[in-house]
Structure 1
Amino acid sequence: MKRLCLSVLAMLLAVPVAAQPPVEAEIAEKSAREDVFPQADVAFPSDVVAWPQVEISNLDGFRPVRMDIYAPRDRSKPRPAVLWIHGGGWSRGDARTSGAYANWPAVLASLAARGFVVASLDYRLSGEAKFPAQIQDVKAAIRHLRTQNGALGIDPSRVYLWGGSAGGHLASLAAVTCGAAEYEPQPSTGRLSRSQINALKGTKAPPADDCVQGAALWYGVFDLEHVPSVNVTGLLGCDPAVCRDVARAASPLYRIGKKVPPMLLIHGTKDETVDVSQSKAMTTALQGAGAKAELLLIPDVDHGLTGSTSQATRDASLLALRRTFAFFESLAAGR
């Protein structure tokens, strides 16, 4: 046995060891914090290209805030932009899923194929940060799109929002709180050194505009004070029945001012998660303030536009898409 082990050892020692590459690395003069991982693009039909998980904000103590961006490959002329904000009760969901749509990225790319730059945001969820972190991330995304108008070919005068459920809440809140100081995005200093952060103190460049020119809202939540959901408590960090002033301040229904962009609201009449009365009340309030607001009620479908049959779900989902795309195209054309 000992002789066998020695024979095996001798065989192993006889195998030539492959030469290892030298240890080489590019070294900066000081701590390097930029994300230099190659940003690959993804091709979609109709000559649309997408960039996944683009970082728009980096905050101390949190993961980077990112979004997917879809755009026509041809950026020879300025194009309107649409920012999609996902649902999930503010506590789950992501930028790449919505309702019964089996391939939501393909849906977003199909809107881009119509001449839009489309972004889909992964905002901080309520388990990561309490409100107003979510609306701050939305406004940071709006500003990012405007500051990148040259690289992405965006027309900064035509920026629209689109959200579903909790995303409908955030989209509508952003639309009615243009320039609100309490929702000012947190400074993106996560990649800066302490000396760089200190150098910024006392200097404040004028921020990009966070106003939008329209919003499409699918089965959204507009009155947090009267939604029987544990998700609202998780979002606000308090029971809305107790902290009514906090819930009301975070409710788009009570934040409607004089200058509100056009809005399209879509809701199923059999919604058991967010009652259709939410969209009805929001539409009435918008119209009462002189805003252009249209409400599309889809009969016999539940939350997420799901019906009692697969055909009913398909019909409702396609109807909502067609009306939403037509709404954005109408706004972009100035109609």
Structure 2
Amino acid sequence: VNAPVLVYLHGGRFVSGRKSREALPVLHRLARQGWLCVSANYRLSPDAVFPGHLVDLKKVIAWVREEGHAYGADPSTVFVAGSSAGGHLASFAGLTPGDPVYQPGFESVDTSVTGVISLYGWYGDVNAGEQVASSPHDVLREDAPPFFVTHGDRDSLVHVEGARLFVRRLREVSRRPVVYAELPGAHHAFDLLHSLRCEAVVDGIESFAAWVRARSEG
């Protein structure tokens, strides 16, 4: 079938959340369009500390690349997405393809992605006393994949200034497109329920993914 793949990571401040709650409008829309959507759980704190959460995501990406063909996937077209803490992990994974620091035991596996989608993401450090970089700001690179970043300007949990700063710094470094959609009046977790605003975001994500795929195939 060679279906494109979306790997999605939920939010929850790295301490809570589950794969069946968030971003359902995005997952359902893309699945109807023929995508293979993988909504994954990951170990939560305090049972795991960073980069354990990221290692789990990279294992999912590695699994899709190695085993996805058995489910009709095109393992060369993998987008990674996430909400809140999941946006942090998706962004970090997109910026550290094949980095052995974050791939213990599978250092040689290709974990690169076609594009990154971050919904109301957190882009700061993860306070776990870790000795490795834990903010996406620390791993910006000029060959970063295309990014789609969206955030509500009324978000009181993860303030919009963080998204603005991340987008600005990423655009200064990356040679690839960084799309930013700021949503007037939107709060945190705007993708939990269907709404006109959420549908507009899904439209944007679908257009972004189609554009990235067309460029990569061309």
Same fold (TM over 0.5): yes
Q: Which runs of 4+ in 1 moved over 6 A?
A: none
Aligned pair partner of 1:213 in 114, 119, 137: 114
Name the counterpart of 2:90: 171
1:93 corresponding residue in structure 2? 17
1:154-199 superposed Cα distances (whole Å, 9 cap, x missing partner): 2222111111100000000000011111101457xxxxxxxxxxxx
Q: How does 1:19-38 map to 2 (within 5 A)?
A: none
Q: Is the 8 A contact 1:146 1:208 kept in 2?
A: no
- Decide which of 320, 324, 332 is 2:205's aligned counterpart: 324
Q: Percent identity?
A: 30
Which consecutive residues of structure 2, in runs of 5 or more, have no partner in the other structure? none
Counterpart-to-counterpart distance in 2, 1:285 and 1:121: 28
Q: Structure 2: which amino acid aligns with 1:84?
A: Y
Kindly provide the CA deviation profile for residues 215-248 of structure 1, in whole angstroms up to 9, marking residues without a partner as x: 1101111122xxxxxxx43xx2x4xxxx7x75xx
Residue 212 of structure 1 aligns with an amino acid whose one-letter code is V
Q: 2:61 aligns with which of 126, 142, 151?
A: 142
Larger radius of gyration: 1
Q: Which runs of 5+ in 1 are unaligned?
A: 1-76, 188-205, 225-231
Larger RCO (CA within 8 A; separation ≥ 6): 2
By how many angstroms is 1:81 displaced? 0.7
Superposed, 1:164-243 pairs within 5 Å as: 164-186=83-105, 207-224=108-125, 232-233=126-127, 236=128, 238=129
RMSD over equivalenced CA pairs, Å? 2.1
The alignment's TM-score, normalised by the length of structure 2, stands at 0.90
Aligned to 1:95, the other structure's residue is in SS state coil
Q: Distance in 1 between matches of 2:179 and 2:97?
A: 21
Q: Distance in 2 between matches of 1:288 and 1:173?
A: 17
Aligned residue for 1:126?
A: 45
1:112 aligns with 2:31: yes
Shift of 1:286: 1.4
Would you say the 8 A contact 1:139–1:185 is kept in 2?
no
Q: Verify: 1:277 aligned to 2:178, yes or no.
A: no
1:292 maps to: 177
Aligned residues: 214
